[in-house]
Amino acid sequence: MNHTQTDSQTRLEGYKAIIRKMKMYEEAAALIYWDMRTGAPKKGIEARSEVVGELSTETFRMSVSDEMGAYLDWFTQPEELAKLTPIERKMIQESKKDYDRSKKIPADKYQAYVVLTSQAEAAWEEARAQSDYAAFQPYLEKIIATTREFIELWGYEGNKYNTLLDMYEPGMTVEKLDAVFGALREQVVPLLQRLQAAADQPEHGFLQQDFAKEKQKQFSLYILQQMHYDFDAGRLDETVHPFATALSRGDVRITTRYLPQDVGSALFGTIHEGGHALYEQNIAKELEGTNLCTGTSMGIHESQSRFWENVIGRSPQFWSRYFGDLQAAFPGQLDDVDADAFYRAINRVEPSLIRVEADELTYNLHIMIRYELEKALINGELETADLPAAWNAKYKEYLGVEPQTDSEGVLQDVHWSSGAFGYFPSYALGNMYAAQIAHTLRKQLPELDALVARGELAPIKEWLTEKVYRHGKLLTPGEIVLEATGEELNPAYLVDYLRSKYEAVYKL
């Protein structure tokens, strides 16, 4: 092939310009999303939704345009790829992956799927309200059938579910996940039983009092500042469902929810979203405006929110430092409690039916149940008609509780109605990554406990920036874990962490 360096340079600039433009449209759409949830007046919502639709459509068009296709054909030639910088090479690879995935689905099939999931979400909402699984089942049936069809078009290696896993957690497979989830379940179930039988159960009634919202907000702001969340690159607002959204690395917003009767909800919600935000705020500046300027996977993202929420935020050292501040923030309300009692209360374990209300230990079991059911559905080993019974049986087996209605069972999550099969494992992977990363951090920063007990959290943020945050999507989740901890994902760290933590909490 006969081409000059200038050809490549011009093409590279053209490619990067499309990527920047896509990022800009995504940024505008993200602001609209944030605004809709934090206070957009309701009569503007309909028109605004069309604006988001338009921007998303344009972004998608750019990602599968002939122009994009030509650039990708050019730069995926081995001799061209070799000339690129590591960042450029990874950019091209990411774009190519998106392009191929989108191009393999015929436009009319994809359009029909978008309509289907939109109807399914509405049907799910109604079905959940009525606890009427039969009303939702036909939609779920179609979504699964379409997903199976898409998997055939996308292709798969080994298990069909691998293709779905790879979307949220690049490189993750059923084989790996079965092994780590299996090891985890083997340890967590008996641990849970020991905790439930423990003589000294933590008191927790004092967490439910009337905690003034304005004071909760002030304390949330204080804790974020202690975490070195950068308020010049973000802000805290209030929404019904807490979330973090990165409009750019210079504008990473978080929201929380203040429950007047529960001091923990906003507090740990804020720390959790703050963890997501620290990740996005600390991505290297050189990745700005590229398709690598975001967290590398759902699992690694969740590891950061859970590291800050659970490993740091629910540790005894953290509360030996901050419980006095919490008492001072709510005068007279926590005077009869000490830091140790508070620490035990916020770590109380109780098997429950609802995932989003689960504690740190049992949460993993909620995820495993969903993972096993998804895998069976996608592989045609479970019919949607049998799903509620299978769900209930697994809850009985893993958690010892059984839903009385499908609303508090199989209908509780939105994910399946939106077609997000393969997403759930990220939550449990996040816990495993967090424990493994925490283990390495403790080895490399032996004074970790003392730092937390003094409220010196900057060295932790800096270590995570170096090992995780700055890389954005330049490294895969597997590379991040290997480079940061020296080994592949290993569930033993989460098992060890949970056992030693809960034996302390329950005085076993």
Q: Which residues are documented as binding site?
A: 272, 276, 302
**Interface with its own copies includes 45 (CB under 8 A)?**
yes
Query: Nearest 10 degrees: CA dihedral of 205, 209, 213, 215?
Result: -80
**The only residue of 1, 5, 47, 108 in contact with its own copies, by rule CB under 8 A:** 47
**Interface with its own copies includes 234 (CB under 8 A)?**
yes
**Interface with its own copies includes 44 (CB under 8 A)?**
yes
Please enumerate, as own/partner, the contacts of 164-167 that have beta carbons within 8 Å and a separation of 24 or more: 164/374, 164/378, 164/421, 164/422, 165/422, 165/425, 166/422, 167/101, 167/422
Residue 18 beta carbon to its own copies: minimum distance, rounded to whole angstroms: 12
Q: Helices 363-378 and 133-154 meet at what angle, rounded to 10?
A: 70
**Interface with its own copies includes 2 (CB under 8 A)?**
no
Residue 31 beta carbon to its own copies: minimum distance, rounded to whole angstroms: 6
Given the residues 26, 80, 169, 273, select the one marked as catalytic.
273
Within 434-473, the residues that bind its own copies by CB under 8 A are none
Which residue lies nearer to its own copies by CB, 66 or 214? Answer: 214
Which element (helix H / strand E) includes 254? strand 251-256
Residue 107 beta carbon to its own copies: minimum distance, rounded to whole angstroms: 19
d(CA 26, CA 281): 17
**Interface with its own copies includes 42 (CB under 8 A)?**
yes
d(CA 440, CA 307): 13
**Interface with its own copies includes 232 (CB under 8 A)?**
yes
Residue 279 beta carbon to its own copies: minimum distance, rounded to whole angstroms: 16
**Interface with its own copies includes 284 (CB under 8 A)?**
no
Which residue lies nearer to its own copies by CB, 18 or 167? Answer: 18
Instruction: Kindly tell me the number of DSSP H helices and DSSP E strands found in the chain.
Output: 21, 3
Q: Helices 298-306 and 263-281 meet at what angle, rounded to 10?
A: 130
The 251-256 sheet, strands edge to edge: 236-238, 251-256, 244-248
Residue positions forming the annotated binding site for Zn(2+): 272, 276, 302
d(CA 281, CA 304): 12
Stretch that binds its own copies, among 30-38, 109-117, 184-192, 272-280 (CB under 8 A): 30-38
Which residue lies nearer to its own copies by CB, 66 or 232? Answer: 232
Please enumerate, as own/partner, the contacts of 96-103 that have beta carbons within 8 Å and a separation of 24 or more: 96/72, 98/63, 99/63, 99/64, 99/68, 99/69, 99/72, 101/154, 101/167, 102/60, 102/63, 102/64, 103/64, 103/69
DSSP state of 253: E
d(CA 257, CA 283): 27
Q: Count the residues of the shown chain that bind its own copies, applying the rule CB under 8 A.
A: 35
d(CA 31, CA 351): 38
**Interface with its own copies includes 67 (CB under 8 A)?**
no
Within 468-507, the residues that bind its own copies by CB under 8 A are none
d(CA 281, CA 480): 18
**The only residue of 8, 18, 28, 59 in contact with its own copies, by rule CB under 8 A:** 28
Decide if 273 is catalytic. Answer: yes
Residue 250 beta carbon to its own copies: minimum distance, rounded to whole angstroms: 4
Determine the 3-state secondary structure of 74 from DSSP. helix
**The only residue of 7, 9, 10, 35 in contact with its own copies, by rule CB under 8 A:** 35
**Interface with its own copies includes 247 (CB under 8 A)?**
yes
Within 373-412, the residues that bind its own copies by CB under 8 A are none
Within 184-223, the residues that bind its own copies by CB under 8 A are none
**Interface with its own copies includes 55 (CB under 8 A)?**
yes
Within 285-304, the residues that bind its own copies by CB under 8 A are 288-289
Stretch that binds its own copies, among 232-240, 332-340, 355-363, 435-443 (CB under 8 A): 232-240
Residue 259's DSSP bridge partners are 262
Residue 256's DSSP bridge partners are 238
Residue 402 beta carbon to its own copies: minimum distance, rounded to whole angstroms: 43
CB count, 10 Å around CB of 102?
Answer: 14
Which residue lies nearer to its own copies by CB, 69 or 250? Answer: 250
Residue 506 beta carbon to its own copies: minimum distance, rounded to whole angstroms: 42
**Interface with its own copies includes 32 (CB under 8 A)?**
yes
Helix H segments across 39-85? 45-63, 66-75, 78-83
Catalytic positions are 273
Q: Which residues bind its own copies (CB under 8 A)?
A: 21, 24-25, 27-28, 31-32, 35, 39-48, 50-51, 54-55, 230-235, 247-248, 250-251, 253, 288-289
